[in-house]
Amino acid sequence: QAQLVESGGGLVQAGGSLRLSCAASGLAFSTSNIGWFRQAPGKGQEFVAAISWATTTTYYADSVKGRSTISRDNKKTTAALQVNSLKPEDTAVYYCAAVRGLRLPTSPNEYDYWGQGTQVTVSS
């Protein structure tokens, strides 16, 4: 059974940094694309970043571009999202998701497996 478990969220002051982790099990991680999404209270899911299974392609949302880095370790079946210069508007539940395929999607509807999410709260 495929499972994704996020960790690393918490309460941080504006301007700070967080490194979110995603541990995967029960799926073909090395051939799965990984995406990070977030959902703020009262809002829909928002794409944050994605990395292809071979790490050759990465995408970032404009809202985090330049201050975020997505990475993965296929041997450890983990992925990570580093977010710097955090802003109050980054407050949300952050989810990692996985899907196999040659194309790296940015729509949440195209991902098959999801974690339970980790809360990130940025205080001003």
Distance between CA atoms of residues 36 and 10, nearest Å = 16
Q: Alpha helices, DSSP H only, in the chain?
A: none
CB 117 within 8 A of CB 93: yes
Mean pLDDT of the chain: 97
Q: What percent of the chain has pLDDT over 90?
A: 99
The pLDDT of residue 5 is 98
Q: Show Cβ contacts of residue 31 under 8 Å, excluding neighbours closer than 6 positions.
A: 53, 100
pLDDT, residue 116, reads 98
- Given a contact cutoff of 8 angstroms between Cβ atoms, the answer to whether 27 and 113 are in contact is yes
Q: How far is CA 57 from CA 50, 73, 77, 103, in A?
A: 8, 14, 18, 10
- What tens digit of pLDDT does each residue of 18-33 get? 999 999 999 999 999 9
pLDDT at 76: 97
pLDDT digits (tens, 9 = 90+) for 55-111: 999 999 999 999 999 999 999 999 999 999 999 999 999 999 999 999 999 999 999
pLDDT number for residue 120? 98
